[in-house]
Structure 1
Amino acid sequence: MNPLTLSVLRDEHSALAAMLRSVLLLLADHRQRGTLPDFAVLRAMLFYLDEFPEKRHHRKETELLFPKLRARTPLARPILDNLDQDHACGERRIRDLEHALLAFELMGESRREDFEQAMARYVEFYLAHMALEEREILPLAERVLTADDWRELDTAFSTNRDPLTGHDAEQAYRELFTRIVNLAPAPIGLGPASGAPKPATWLRAN
């Protein structure tokens, strides 16, 4: 059995990791060249993080997958509690990043390091969060959830797919994702980044 839910989660984790690393690549490239980044692109990337991982991906994990796991086994309940707490704090973390980005845009060089450090902390936190889910939670779900559980989850996880995993963007989001893909550095987009390879062709925004 190969549940669609697990494929969706792993694909979305990969897309999110690529997005996060692309932000760091973009910032490092501009710091090295002594230039300011395209703040509109950074705002678009943070907006993506808020709209898809925070409001869709995490909500499905917290409201659908994690309750089923708690109902089937007492294993990993402390881990699930910690992951839910991470999800609950996600919007605040994004707001803090957006504030730091606005300060960088308005105040200039004096706020560059503050934003870079805030972004680096966010990326480190998020990569560790996803690694924990991949290492502990998804294998546990494969072991303990039933066929009926997976049918219900697969139906829910098949909707509102992340465009950065190769699925067509909803009409309202097409301009946003086209902008991200065209201007963000590899591995998530087509924009330049020092020493970075061009992105894979699976990335589609329209």
Structure 2
Amino acid sequence: MQDAISIIKDEHISISSVLKGMVEHVEEAMAGKRDADPFLLVAMLDYVETVPERVHHPKEDQYLFRLLRKRTNAADQVLDELEEEHKKSPALLKNMRAALSRFKTEGDLASLNTAITEYARFHFSHMRKEEKDILPLAMEHLTAEDWHEVHEAFKLNMKDDLI
């Protein structure tokens, strides 16, 4: 159980670090303390599109959330919210990618700042729900076999050097 939870929390820390870096980078550019680096921002956005969207969220849905629903209905409302947020997240990423393109072609830093801040706030809130609401319920209700399945899925993320 602890191994799976540690991996999930480590992924949250990694995602949070990149998002915080994006926010701070653009805020400093908005304040005139630096020039925004589009190459750095593209790399950071690529990470955010890859790790949370293509690796982390699908495994939460397929393993952690599915198994928790199987064991209890106490988490149903929060799981519904989180799964809906997983569906909304790609649109926010698309908005961020479009804002980054506008910044590169038109210098529109304000729109980029808005898009990055919106996504970061959305994702920070999302991860807080998972850690505050879902992980404690999972610790209470999932079996050792369930945790083994979750761990096996999430440990592949570490093996592929994605995080």
Smaller-chain TM-score range? over 0.9
| Higher relative helix content | 2
Q: Secondary structure at the match of 1:158?
A: helix
After TM superposition, list the pairs within 5 Å mapping 1:161-200 onto structure 2: 161=158, 169=161
Matched, 1:11 2:7: no
Name the aligned partner's letter for residue 169 of structure 1.
D
Contact 2:5–2:135 (8 Å) recurs in 1: yes
Q: Secondary structure at the match of 1:33?
A: coil
Q: Which residue of 2 aligns with 1:138?
A: 135
Cα deviation 1:152-192 (Å, max 9, x = unaligned): 1111111022xxxxx7736xxxxxxxxxxxxxxxxxxxxxx
Q: Which residue of 2 aligns with 1:195?
A: none
Contact 2:92–2:115 (8 Å) recurs in 1: no
Give TM-score, length-normalised by structure 2: 0.93
Paired-residue identity, %: 33
Contact 1:19–1:45 (8 Å) recurs in 2: yes
Q: Secondary structure at the match of 2:31?
A: helix
Cα deviation 1:17-43 (Å, max 9, x = unaligned): 111111111112222226531101101
Give TM-score, length-normalised by structure 1: 0.75
Contact 2:99–2:115 (8 Å) recurs in 1: yes
Name stretches of at least 5 consecutive residues in structure 2 with no aligned partner: none
Q: Which residue of 2 aligns with 1:185?
A: none
Name stretches of at least 5 consecutive residues in structure 1 with no aligned partner: 162-166, 171-204
Q: Which is bigger in relative contact order (C-alpha 8 A, separation at least 6)?
A: 2
Q: Which runs of 4+ in 1 moved over 4 A?
A: none
